[in-house]
Homo-oligomer: A and B are copies of this chain.
Amino acid sequence: MPELDLRPHIAGLPGSRIREVANAALDRADILAFYFGESDEVTPPEIREAAAESIARGETFYSHNLGLAELREALRGYIGGLHGDPGPDRIAVTSSGVSALMLAMQMLAAAGDEVVVVTPVWPNLPAQPAILGAQVRRVPLAPDAQGAWRLDLPRLLAAVTPATRVLLLNAPNNPTGWTLDRAEQQALLDHCRRTGTWIVADEVYDRLWYGDGPAAPSFLDIASPDDRVVVVGSFSKAFLMTGWRLGWLVLPRGAIDTMAKLLEFNSSCAPVFVQRAGLAAMAIADRFVPPLVARLKAGRDRLCQGLATLPGVTVAVPLGGMYAWFRPPADAPGAGDSLAFAKRLVAKHGLGLAPGSAFGPEGEGWLRWCFASRDPARLDAGVARLRAALYSAGSA
């Protein structure tokens, strides 16, 4: 077959290394899979029933580009309760968080623009500006001796110059669990005000937060409605709605009409019945999210304690998110190549983890483990498999 002349910067996008590992586990029922970024819990019944009722009512037509007015209003109340009222005409409903991020990037970055992104990070974030022909510069976090990943704030501030169009941040961070603190956010906002740089903040893990208060520190807490700040949220994580593909954008004042056009030209609108599910999620948020976060915190603690019992394993307890991010012992055979290591773990030991290199070269040598598991015993069983893999002679 002839070589297709697809656009080289598109054909050259990285494939998912997580999927590469998962593919090595296909058709095997014995795998304990922790590689994907979703809970194994089904969406709550109240949310599912709202969608089913909408479908039964025949809500099968186009809707407003920006989302149902009721849902935008409910989101305004939800976001306002966490961070203060954003005011009118600042929220757009999107067909997933990833779609929201792509829309934000389309609004802000064109070919040749410079986008700075803090890494390691979910690969979709740097891929989106690359699709648009922007120049992506990576500023890495780095682990301390205890395995907690830290931001080198002076280095990041130096990297963001008047030539930087967008600063792209994901905090709480997938995969490391690193979270921006208030002082860092303020320093970044002040700096970006001076350089004229937009901040796109992927805050989809904001509620999966194990520190003080109901949500991780957000740029919404400190930005004015006229700041160049776009915040992306999602129903996926805090409402167990990964498969629904529903998210939102909080935009600065004056951007909503442009975003409505981009929504029209990218996806037109989210299905009404999916938006009704989102409305049901908003209605149960106060009583659903805190117990979910408590379950996740218990899973986090159980997994991190289990990992800490493994000699030579480096792991820090993350403040946010739903992942343990750890480094196998330096002398574990093959541990320096996380993709090959993860493939062997799944093939030989039935343990499905995400390789650190899936999140960029900065993550090489590390592994990501999603602890959002309904049954904590699954986490224990996974740790036992990892122990066998690491310390049984010749088995890893």
Central interface residue in A15, A128, A272, by most chain B CB within 10 Å = A15
**C-beta contact mask, A97-108 vs B, less than 8 Å → 1, else 0?**
011001000111
Instruction: Please classify how large the interface on chain A is, using the bins under 10, 10 to 19, 20 to 34, 35 or more.
Output: 35 or more
Q: Interface majority SS on A: helix, strand, loop or mixed?
A: loop
Which residue of chain B lies nearest to A133 when distances are taken between CB atoms in the complex? B111
State which of A172-180, A215-223, A257-265, A307-315 sits at the interface with chain B.
A257-265
Q: Does B15 lie within 8 Å of A42, measured CB to CB?
A: no
Q: Does A271 lie within 8 Å of B245, measured CB to CB?
A: yes
A16 touches which of B16, B42, B96, B264 (Cβ 8 Å)? B264
State which of A141-149, A204-212, A236-244 sits at the interface with chain B.
A236-244
Rounded to whole Å, the gap between the CB of A105 and the closest CB of chain B is 10
Q: Does B242 lie within 8 Å of A62, measured CB to CB?
A: yes
Query: Which parts of A1-55 form the interface with B (CB within 8 Å)?
Result: 1-7, 9-11, 13-16, 36, 38, 42-43, 48, 51-52, 55
Q: Does B36 lie within 8 Å of A48, measured CB to CB?
A: no
Q: Does B111 lie within 8 Å of A13, measured CB to CB?
A: no
Residues of B close to A56: CB separation below 8 A = 48, 52
**Does A196 interact with chain B (Cβ within 8 Å)?**
yes
State which of A248-256, A323-331, A378-386 sits at the interface with chain B.
A248-256
Residues of B close to A255: CB separation below 8 A = 4, 6
A110 touches which of B7, B42, B60, B61 (Cβ 8 Å)? B7
Q: Pull 29 A–B residue pairs with CB atoms less than 8 Å apart, ordered by A.
A: A1-B253, A6-B107, A6-B255, A6-B258, A7-B110, A10-B258, A14-B261, A38-B62, A42-B58, A48-B55, A48-B58, A60-B240, A60-B243, A62-B242, A63-B243, A95-B245, A96-B268, A98-B265, A106-B131, A110-B111, A110-B133, A111-B111, A111-B133, A127-B265, A132-B132, A133-B133, A244-B271, A245-B269, A245-B270
Name A residues whose Cβ lies closer than 8 Å to a Cβ of B.
Answer: 1-7, 9-11, 13-16, 36, 38, 42-43, 48, 51-52, 55-56, 58-63, 95-96, 98-99, 102, 106-112, 124, 127-128, 131-133, 196, 226, 228, 240-245, 252-255, 257-258, 260-262, 264-274
Q: Which 4 A-B pairs have the closest CB atoms?
A: A111-B111, A42-B58, A43-B60, A60-B243
